[in-house]
């Protein structure tokens, strides 16, 4: 699933291509969106807005938004007119053309056209926690929401978009490693200062990775060069960069999210068994 920084960069790329342009072609394979051409063709793109892992493309004067969520499979691509697509056309959910660009949303499970009022009361959007990539992130509110999940495993709570929107599985794994926290430890057993540090580090890393010119994901190790700069994510059975103990991998939560950790640096807390499960 794309993390918040990926959606932010996608929005920035789409904004540069689409902002201020009129829609000339609208096509969709989403049954609920068929017949919407009259509402969108001729409209002007006024904003491309990321909200956590959600993306909204706004149109005027109709005050409509195309809301998409990538989940595990979706992606947005940009092409010049006539350019060959990098994915099969059968995977295209929405095709949005302006005079100089074609924007294609591939394989996104959620694509819907909403009015401003519908956006303002959309259950998934209104439930989001503070956005880690907003210009100012309310970490105190994120901490309050995290504390409400005292019985959850911290690894599950950090993925709950109602706590801090934009944090995904890579960042969950990395910030827990940075702060030496067992992913299965109950939120209520994590020291308050460490809870604050987890949220602050997630915000810092996400914002670092959307700076203009940043091409590599910078997480634990930092520095220049290419490729993912991660300590534990995707490194099962490889030595821990701190102590050399083999990194472990297990599925966590109702969605079975891949969780990587060092069993020595992130020693199990007292509640490794019987930890409350998080919500969907």
pLDDT in tens, 39-69: 999 999 999 999 999 999 999 999 999 999 9
State the DSSP string of 118-150. Answer: HHHT-HHHHT---BTTSSS--HHHHHHHHHTTT
Q: Of 70, 99, 126, which one is at a domain's C-terminal end?
A: 126
The active-site residue out of 50, 51, 53, 130 is 53
pLDDT reported for residue 226:
43
Distance CA 145, CA 149 (A): 7
pLDDT at 154 over 60: yes
Task: Tell me the CATH number at 15.
Answer: 3.20.190.10
> Would residue 131 count as lying in a domain?
no
Among 98, 126, 154, which residue terminates a domain?
Answer: 126
Does 275 have pLDDT greater than 50?
no
Active site residue 2: yes
User: Are 144 and 113 in a shared domain?
Assistant: no
- What's the number of domains the chain is made of? 2
Q: Which of 2, 50, 130, 183 is catalytic?
A: 2
- Residue range of the domain that includes 74: 4-126
Band the pLDDT of 198: cuts 50, 70, 90.
very high
Residue 172 is a catalytic residue: no
Residue 227 has pLDDT above 90, yes or no: no
**What are 176-196's pLDDT values in tens digits?**
999 999 999 999 999 999 999
- Statement to judge: residues 96 and 192 lie in one domain: no
Distances (CA, A) of 157 to 3, 112, 116, 163: 15, 28, 30, 7
Active-site hit among 185, 207, 217, 257? 257
pLDDT at 228: 55
Respond yes or no: is residue 239 known to be catalytic: no
Q: How do 101-106 and 75-79 pair as beta strands?
A: antiparallel
* pLDDT tier, 225 (very low <50, low <70, confident <90, very high otherwise): very low
For residues 109-133, average pLDDT: 97
Residue 275 lies in a domain: no
């Amino acid at each position: 699933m794309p993390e918040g920084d990926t959606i932010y960069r996608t929005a920035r790329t789409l904004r540069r291509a689409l902002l201020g342009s009129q829609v000339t072609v609208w096509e969709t394979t989403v049954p609920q969106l068929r017949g919407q051409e009259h509402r969108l063709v001729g409209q002007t793109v006024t904003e491309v807005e990321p909200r956590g892992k959600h993306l909204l493309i706004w149109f005027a004067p109709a005050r409509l938004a195309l809301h998409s969520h990538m989940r595990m499979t979706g992606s947005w691509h940009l092409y010049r007119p006539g350019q060959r697509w990098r994915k099969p056309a059968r995977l295209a959910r929405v095709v949005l053309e302006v005079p100089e660009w074609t924007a294609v949303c591939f394989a996104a499970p959620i694509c819907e056209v909403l009015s401003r009022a519908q956006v303002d009361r959309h259950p998934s959007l209104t439930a989001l926690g503070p956005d880690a990539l907003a210009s100012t992130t309310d970490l105190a509110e994120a901490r309050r929401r995290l504390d409400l999940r005292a019985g959850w495993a911290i690894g599950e709570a950090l993925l709950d978009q109602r706590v801090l929107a934009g944090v995904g599985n890579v960042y969950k794994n990395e910030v827990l490693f940075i702060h030496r926290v067992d992913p299965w430890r109950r939120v209520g057993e994590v020291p308050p200062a460490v809870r604050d540090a987890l949220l602050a580090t997630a915000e810092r890393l996400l914002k670092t990775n959307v700076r203009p010119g940043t091409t590599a994901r910078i997480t634990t190790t930092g520095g220049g060069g290419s490729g993912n700069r991660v300590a534990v994510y995707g490194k099962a059975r490889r030595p821990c960069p701190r102590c050399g103990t083999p990194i472990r991998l297990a599925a966590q939560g109702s969605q079975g999210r891949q969780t990587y950790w060092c069993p020595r640096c992130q020693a199990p807390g007292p509640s490794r068994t019987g930890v409350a499960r998080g919500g969907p």
